[in-house]
Amino acid sequence: MNKKKNETDIYTPTECKKFILPVRDVIDIVGGKWRLPIIIALSFKIHRFKELERQIEGITPRMLSKELKELETNGLVNRKVFDTIPASIEYSLTDYGKSLDKVIETMREWGLSHRNKIINE
Amino acid sequence: MNKKKNETDIYTPTECKKFILPVRDVIDIVGGKWRLPIIIALSFKIHRFKELERQIEGITPRMLSKELKELETNGLVNRKVFDTIPASIEYSLTDYGKSLDKVIETMREWGLSHRNKIINE
DNA sequence: TATACTGCTATACTAAAGTATAGCAATATA
DNA sequence: TATATTGCTATACTTTAGTATAGCAGTATA
């Protein structure tokens, strides 16, 4: 009776796994508690460090600094230094960072409908 | 010169924060390394525990069990027990879980284009 | 002179996520 | 009889994420 193992698994042995892979990549790049919030803030406008700190509720400068570096490394965020004294630094989205807009918008819609769902129950 | 604080921040003081909120909800519900992979596997077909373990590369039974419970609690996954001996248990997506399909598809597309980008550089 | 601002970094810590390994009952298969 | 299967749970551990607090240089503001 439990013999059917191969029979059931054969349905989508590679197809399902293949489907998961690119989504895993996305999770690696923009997963975690802070990265999407940062990206969203930057999609509104260029921000300086302290501005981001204020827009993203609850984030500590340590986390913000860490995540900005990661996002820069992955080519999503641009860091521009102005040699005023003291230096002012602007963070902006690269084109590649901007290309997440669809993902963010889809997630936002789902999130909103979830809120509505909770409220209407 | 640094006096402009309110001038710059006033642009989107609440708008940006408001925009972030529903996305945060999504992160809370399906964030982390394993939840979306699990949901994707279940979007292909109903799975039993060991089948999921095989489809989702690298997951341990502890994590799978934990995340399935969370997903059930949040109403995304359904757990159905058949009182055969030994019991067999089927995990499936609820309609609400299924409603993530757009989010997943958008993420997948972005993930694929990221792969292409890396390959083409 | 005292305080606040900017753009962080350092240190020390806690909490959450994740891994590794083993095991159990009961049946089926070799 | 030995091994494999299912659907997990228990224990112990490591790693990563995240928090809390303090501080610095240099300017501007009160």
Beta bridge partners of B89: B81
C-beta separation of A52 from A91 below 8 A:
yes
Put simply, whether B32 touches A (Cβ < 8 Å) is yes
Determine whether the distance from the CB of A62 to the nearest atom of strand D is below 7 Å. yes
Buried b / exposed e over B26-61, threshold 16 CB at 10 Å, is bbebbbbbbbbbbbbbbbbeebbbebbbbbbeebee
Query: Would you state the pLDDT for residue A8?
Result: 39
Which positions in chain B touch A74 (Cβ < 8 Å)?
Answer: none
Structure tokens given for A35: 């990265």
- B-chain residues near A20 (CB < 8 A): 37, 40-41, 55-57
Would you give the DSSP letter of residue B87? -
Instruction: Inspect the interface and report whether the beta carbons of B44 and A103 lie closer than 8 Å.
Output: no
C-alpha atoms less than 13 angstroms from C-alpha of B28 in its C-beta half-sphere: 12
Residues counted in chain A:
121
- pLDDT at position B115, please? 79
Per-residue CA distances from A100 to A13, A26, A81, B2, B66 (Å):
30, 10, 24, 32, 30
A9 interfacial to chain B (CB closer than 8 Å) = yes
Q: Domain residues of chain B, as ranges?
A: 12-119
Position B119 scores a pLDDT of: 65
Beta bridge partners of B92: B78
Q: What is the pLDDT along chain B (121 residues), one digit of tens a residue?
A: 333 333 334 444 568 999 999 999 999 999 999 999 999 999 999 999 999 999 999 999 999 999 999 999 999 999 999 988 778 999 999 999 999 999 999 999 999 998 777 666 6
**What's the fold here for domain A2-119?**
Arc Repressor Mutant, subunit A (1.10.10)
Contact present, B76 and B97 (Cβ < 8 Å): yes
Q: Report the side by side order of strands in the sheet with A88-93.
A: A47-48, A88-93, A77-82
Who contacts B38 (Cβ-Cβ below 8 Å, separation ≥6)? B52, B56, B64, B67, B68, B71, B77
Interstrand relation of A47-48 and A88-93 (parallel, antiparallel or unpaired): antiparallel
Which amino acid, one-letter code, is at A79? Answer: R
* B12-119 is a CATH 1.10.10.10 domain: yes
- Beta bridge partners, A92, equal A78
Residue A29 tokens read as: 């790049």
| Segments of chain A with pLDDT less than 50 | 1-12
CB A46 within 8 A of CB A79: no
pLDDT of A14: 67
